[in-house]
Amino acid sequence: MIRILKEVRSAVVATIVLIVIVSGVYPVIVWGIAQGLFPFEANGSLINKNGIIIGSRLIAQNFTKIHYFHPRPSSAGTGYDPVSSGGSNFGPLSRTLVDTVRQRVMKYRTENSILPGTEIPADAVTASASGLDPHISLGNARQQAARVARARGLSEEVLLQKIATHLEGRDMGILGEPRVNVVLLNLDMDGNK
Amino acid sequence: MPMQKYGYEWIQLAAYIAILLIITKPVGLYLMQVLDARGKTFLDPLLHPVEKGFYWLLGLDPIKEQTWKEYAISLFIFSLIGFVMTYTVLRLQQHMPLNPQGFGPLSTHLAFNTAVSFATNTNWQSYAGESTMSYFSQMVGLAFQNFTSAAAGIALAAALVRGLARHSAKTIGNFWVDMVRIHLYLLIPVCIIYAVFLVSQGTIQNFKTYDTVQVIEQQAGGNHPIRTQIIPQGPVASQEAIKMLGTNGGGFFNANSAHPYENPTPLTNFIQMLSIFLIPSGLTYYLGRMVKNQHHGWTIWATMLALFLCAFLVCWHAEEAGNPRLYALGIQQDTGNMEGKEVRFGVFDSALFATITTDASCGAVNAMHDSFTPLGGLIPLFNIQLGEIVFGGAGSGLYGMLIFVVLTVFIAGLMVGRTPEYLGKKIEAYDVKVSVLFIMVPVFVVLGFSAWAVVSEWGLAGLNNSGPHGFSEILYAFTSGTGNNGSAFAGLNANSPWFDTTLALAMLLGRFFMIVPVLALAGNLVQKKRSESGSGSFPISGIMFASLLSGIILIIGALTFLPALSLGPIVEHMIMLRSNLAY
């Protein structure tokens, strides 16, 4: 019994000391280094326009108007809600999934005047995992270029060039997929760098 | 299929394996020092005084070792105290500091489920972090457990390896010494560097209130309210590092490693995948060194790699092939199944992450497994059912694999008609009994609870999908809980009193009922005499042994779970290919 009590005492002491180290000292060290070396990233990669924060480079926001590029569909809350990140979690045979995607395909075709027979980029009509995916595929961005060009009275050529400057390649040449950040692209369209 | 498109994926896969191979030996050698009470590391000048201070506070002589029963008691008491601490923090969240959003306390069943979940290294999440947990709860209630449960797993693996390496002895190490040294010399230093790297890529690390931003697209006209978005913040990077390195998997945010703040770039994704296997892979080298049979260590490593590759190629292929229901609507097929995946990762990195996180008992996700194709989702499920021994959890992977090694040696011995022998020690009835116990516990827990849930109202009430996929959601939940994995077919709403409680029980049984047989095995092996293995003993390295070992793992896994899998993902796959049904 005394030995058990001694073990309990050890466990309590170890718990307290470890809390101080791994829940106190460790995150504060990381916080200190992070705020010193990478303050922009550590604070959320927030975009500041004339003193007003208008979003994060890493977090998708909803764009519905025709003169903006549209992000991927989102299942985060009622859509693009960072307080409830997540995917749709519909299985591949879910009727709700199939119906929802069918509607998105029709809308995407109409909005972007896509000819029957041309296939739609998959990322344009499927919900992302986080609901906050700030990226779209290059194909998706290009399909939307003509619409945005018309709405803004620009030539499609100019828009395709814009997209090309926002194309992020694979990390280190091999990792991940090429992608275009919708938030940054739309900011650029509005004349903000 | 154009070769050019697939080139990058194969290069990345080759790079992943090559780097894993290269780091295995250095990590293993470092573990040799960390897991030896008299070991020397390059961090000694800085940390040795801290270590000594720890022992002084604990009133402990670091050279004095424990028998397996003493070791087990220390581990259980420590886990219990940790559980009580976390439960208390979660229940009293509103009275604790660092709660800028003013979150209230968790319900009793959610706090119970979460405290068990983190104390057992499962990190099953019935809650959504960004709308439930204060920064204090994340750091003290949860991250503390991420460190300690991972360290306990590594300590257990070390204890079992000592049982194998020593002979005619009684003790298998000292739990407290192992815990202190693993924290100080391994987990904390690696995590500091790792977390800073994550921040450099975009992972956040701050303590501020959630940001309210005015989004770019505002409504036209003057009388519309300003559209805003609330963006959660917090000390994410420090949490993320140990979540991956400790194979815990509990995300700061609900979307876990799919969230751009947790896993912002393909590079962080690659490092996260590597960090899951870092310690488990190094432990195979540690095993080889300790038992003075490096061929044996590498044979186990190679077996793990082979099982990993087989599973991954199936998962990748299934996700690449995609969902015919959606293709029928006129969408492009070249990017595969993108529902529930992020563009920066695509199908390849999502399938690779899913395979790795379930080979190990990590359970972090960078894509939603619930939306995987039937066979793509079968792989993570089956990986956990095999026991998460393919590299496996930090520590738990190696000790789980060694149980299978003991069984393989035993079965091989029966086949050739010799007394089974492992590393010069006779494998006898007691050893086989505890090994079989280890394998039987999850069978009963997973299948028992799943069967109960699918015939109960409380079970069906949580479903997000119906038909075979609904069954898969429930089977996955209890598989993940029992296997202490923590990933989910996340459509299942498991935050109900029944699910929270049954899953918590599954997690407890899956952790502690399996730790006892492991320690008992260690305690029995350590006292045995070692005979020099002669030409008659069965070789435990080489292709022959690797094939036998993987054969036995697959046969036991398949025999046990194939019937259940047939009702879920397998029948769903048939329906997908051979009909137009949707549910």
- Among the partner-chain residues B54, B192, B365, the one whose CB lies closest to the CB of A26 is B192
* Residue B363 to residue B378: CA distance in whole angstroms: 15
In this structure, the number of other CB atoms found within 10 A of the CB of residue A117 comes to: 6
pLDDT per position as a tens digit, B341-388? 999 999 999 999 999 999 999 999 999 999 999 999 999 999 999 999
* Residue B299 to residue B18: CA distance in whole angstroms: 16
Q: What is the pLDDT of residue B534?
A: 62
Token duo for residue B420: 């089974």
Domain co-membership, A98 together with A37: no
Instruction: Count the domains in chain A.
Output: 2
Q: Which residues of chain A does B130 touch, with a Cβ-Cβ cutoff of 8 Å?
A: 82-85
The whole-number average pLDDT for the span A49-58 is 95
Which of B60, B71, B219, B343 to mutate to test binding with chain A, by most A CBs within 10 Å of its CB? B343
The whole-number average pLDDT for the span A70-98 is 96
Predicted confidence (pLDDT) at residue B2 exceeds the cutoff of 50: no
Helix axes B68-91, B497-526, angle to 10 degrees: 160
Q: CB of A184 within 8 Å of any CB in chain B?
A: no
Q: CB of A35 within 8 Å of any CB in chain B?
A: yes
Q: Which residues contact B304 (CB under 8 A, 6 or more apart)?
A: B281, B284, B359, B389, B390, B391, B392, B401
Please spell the DSSP secondary structure of B310-379, one letter per residue: HHHHHHHHHHHH--HHHHTTTB-STT---TT--TTTHHHHHHHHHHHHHHTT----SS-GGGS-HHHHHH
Q: How far is CA B352 from CA B3, B21, B140, B272, in A?
A: 19, 17, 31, 11
Identify the CA nearest to B576 among candidates B332, B399, B325.
Answer: B325
- Among the partner-chain residues B237, B266, B373, the one whose CB lies closest to the CB of A170 is B266
Q: Which residues of chain A does B200 touch, with a Cβ-Cβ cutoff of 8 Å?
A: 37-38, 41
* Residue B281 to residue B26: CA distance in whole angstroms: 11
Q: Which residues of chain B does A59 touch, with a Cβ-Cβ cutoff of 8 Å?
A: 229, 231, 260-261
* Residue B576 to residue B224: CA distance in whole angstroms: 46
Q: CB of A133 within 8 Å of any CB in chain B?
A: yes
Q: CB of A128 within 8 Å of any CB in chain B?
A: yes
pLDDT per position as a tens digit, B126-170? 999 999 999 999 999 999 999 999 999 999 999 999 999 999 999
- Among the partner-chain residues B340, B349, B583, the one whose CB lies closest to the CB of A89 is B340
pLDDT per position as a tens digit, B278-336? 999 999 999 999 999 999 999 999 999 999 999 999 999 999 999 999 999 999 999 99
Q: What is the pLDDT of residue B218?
A: 86
Q: Which residues of chain A does B371 touch, with a Cβ-Cβ cutoff of 8 Å?
A: 87-92, 97
Identify the CA nearest to A129 among candidates B342, B357, B272, B263.
Answer: B342
The 3-state DSSP class for residue B545 equals helix
- Are B392 and B156 a contacting pair, CB within 8 Å? no
Domain co-membership, A185 together with A121: yes
- Are A127 and A88 a contacting pair, CB within 8 Å? yes
Indicate yes or no: CB of A93 within 8 angstroms of CB of B581: yes
Token duo for residue B317: 């292929």
Q: Which residues of chain B does A24 touch, with a Cβ-Cβ cutoff of 8 Å?
A: 139
Indicate yes or no: CB of A86 within 8 angstroms of CB of B255: yes
- Are A88 and A97 a contacting pair, CB within 8 Å? yes
Token duo for residue A74: 């989102």
Q: CB of A138 within 8 Å of any CB in chain B?
A: no
Q: What is the pLDDT of residue A98?
A: 97
- Are B274 and B247 a contacting pair, CB within 8 Å? no
- Among the partner-chain residues A41, A92, A176, the one whose CB lies closest to the CB of B345 is A176
Domain co-membership, A183 together with A162: yes
Please spell the DSSP secondary structure of B483-523, one letter per residue: TT-----TTS---SHHHHHHHHHHHHHHHHHHHHHHHHHHH
* Residue A59 to residue A135: CA distance in whole angstroms: 9
Q: Which residues of chain A does B180 touch, with a Cβ-Cβ cutoff of 8 Å?
A: 14
Q: Which residues of chain A does B143 touch, with a Cβ-Cβ cutoff of 8 Å?
A: 22-23, 27
- Are B54 and A17 a contacting pair, CB within 8 Å? yes
Domain co-membership, A8 together with A66: no
Distance from CA of B165 to the nearest CA of A (A): 27
Predicted confidence (pLDDT) at residue A24 exceeds the cutoff of 50: yes
B571 has which bridge partners? none
**Does residue B484 come out as left (phi exceeding 0), alpha (psi in the -120 to 50 range) or beta?**
left
* Residue B556 to residue B439: CA distance in whole angstroms: 9
Compute the Cα dihedral for B425, B431, B435, B438 and give only its sign: negative
Taking only Cα atoms into account, the Rg of chain B, rounded to an integer number of angstroms, comes to: 24
Q: CA B298 from chain center: how many Å?
A: 22
SS (H, E, C) B189-235: HHHHHHHHHHHHHCCCECCCCCEEEECCCCCCCCCCCCCEEEECCCE
Identify the CA nearest to B151 among candidates A20, A22, A28, A7.
Answer: A22
The whole-number average pLDDT for the span B176-191 is 98
Q: Which residues contact B4 (CB under 8 A, 6 or more apart)?
A: none
Which letter does DSSP use for residue A171 in this model? B
| Helix%, strand%, coil% for chain B, nearest 5 | 65, 5, 30
Q: Which residue of A lies nearest to B330 if distances are taken between CA atoms?
A: A119
Q: How far is CA B99 from CA A20, A22, B207, in A?
A: 18, 19, 9
Residue pointed to by tokens 């890529």:
B201
CB environment B253-275: b (16+ within 10 A), e (fewer): bbbbbbbbbbbbbbbbbbbbbbb
Token duo for residue A8: 């309990």
Token duo for residue B580: 């137009």
Which of A:140-169 have CB within 8 Å of B?
none
**Which helix H or strand E contains B471, and what residues bound it?**
helix B468-482
Indicate yes or no: CB of B216 within 8 angstroms of CB of A90: no
Indicate yes or no: CB of B81 within 8 angstroms of CB of A15: yes
* Residue A74 to residue A71: CA distance in whole angstroms: 8
Token duo for residue B327: 């293709």
> Does B1 or B357 have the greater pLDDT score?
B357
- Are B146 and B123 a contacting pair, CB within 8 Å? yes
Q: CB of A73 within 8 Å of any CB in chain B?
A: no
Which of A:41-60 have CB within 8 Å of B?
41-46, 52-59
Identify the CA nearest to B241 among candidates B255, B262, B210, B266.
Answer: B262
Q: What is the dihedral of CA B181, B186, B188, B190, to 10 degrees?
A: 170
* Residue B453 to residue B477: CA distance in whole angstroms: 10
Q: CB of A183 within 8 Å of any CB in chain B?
A: yes
- Are B86 and B118 a contacting pair, CB within 8 Å? yes
Which amino acid is it at B10?
Answer: W
Which letter does DSSP use for residue A120 in this model? B
Q: Which residues of chain A does B187 touch, with a Cβ-Cβ cutoff of 8 Å?
A: 22
Q: Which residue of A lies nearest to B575 if distances are taken between CA atoms?
A: A93
Q: CB of A72 within 8 Å of any CB in chain B?
A: yes
Q: Are strands A167-168 and A179-181 parallel, antiparallel or unpaired?
A: antiparallel
Q: What is the pLDDT of residue B73?
A: 96
Q: Which residues of chain B does A182 touch, with a Cβ-Cβ cutoff of 8 Å?
A: none
pLDDT per position as a tens digit, B332-354? 999 999 999 999 999 999 999 99
Q: Which residues of chain A does B265 touch, with a Cβ-Cβ cutoff of 8 Å?
A: 171, 176
Domain co-membership, A35 together with A58: no
How big is the A-B interface in CB pairs under 8 Å? 381
pLDDT per position as a tens digit, B5-57? 568 999 999 999 999 999 999 999 999 999 999 999 999 999 999 999 999 99
Q: Where are the domains of chain B?
A: 3-213+229-578
In this structure, the number of other CB atoms found within 10 A of the CB of residue B366 comes to: 27
* Residue B454 to residue B322: CA distance in whole angstroms: 28
pLDDT per position as a tens digit, B496-522? 999 999 999 999 999 999 999 999 999
- Are B355 and B311 a contacting pair, CB within 8 Å? yes
- Among the partner-chain residues A63, A68, A130, the one whose CB lies closest to the CB of B258 is A130
Which amino acid is it at B23?
Answer: I
Q: Which residues of chain A does B60 touch, with a Cβ-Cβ cutoff of 8 Å?
A: 10
Q: What is the pLDDT of residue B222?
A: 57
Q: Which residues of chain A does B234 touch, with a Cβ-Cβ cutoff of 8 Å?
A: none
B516 has which bridge partners? none
- Are B302 and B401 a contacting pair, CB within 8 Å? no
Indicate yes or no: CB of A136 within 8 angstroms of CB of B343: yes
Indicate yes or no: CB of B368 within 8 angstroms of CB of A129: yes
* Residue B55 to residue B49: CA distance in whole angstroms: 10
Q: How many helices and strands (H and E) does chain B possess?
A: 21, 4
Q: Which residues of chain B does A127 touch, with a Cβ-Cβ cutoff of 8 Å?
A: 339-340
Indicate yes or no: CB of A130 within 8 angstroms of CB of B259: yes
**Does residue B123 come out as left (phi exceeding 0), alpha (psi in the -120 to 50 range) or beta?**
left
pLDDT per position as a tens digit, B395-411? 999 999 999 999 999 99
The whole-number average pLDDT for the span A103-114 is 96
pLDDT band at A26 (very low <50, low <70, confident <90, very high): very high
Which of B70, B214, B325, B339 to mutate to test binding with chain A, by most A CBs within 10 Å of its CB? B339
A55 has which bridge partners? A47
Q: What is the pLDDT of residue B180?
A: 97
Q: Which residue of A lies nearest to B331 if distances are taken between CA atoms?
A: A120
- Among the partner-chain residues B253, B265, B469, the one whose CB lies closest to the CB of A85 is B253
Which of B11, B216, B357 to mutate to test binding with chain A, by most A CBs within 10 Å of its CB? B216
Residue pointed to by tokens 């020099």:
B532
- Among the partner-chain residues A92, A130, A177, the one whose CB lies closest to the CB of B373 is A92
Q: What is the pLDDT of residue B536?
A: 66
Report ipTM for this prediction. Answer: 0.97
Which of B58, B101, B205 to mutate to test binding with chain A, by most A CBs within 10 Å of its CB? B205
Domain that holds residue A17: 2-42
Q: Which residues contact A36 (CB under 8 A, 6 or more apart)?
A: none
Q: Which residues of chain B does A123 touch, with a Cβ-Cβ cutoff of 8 Å?
A: 335, 338, 343
Domain co-membership, A30 together with A81: no
The whole-number average pLDDT for the span B460-481 is 94
Domain co-membership, A134 together with A86: yes
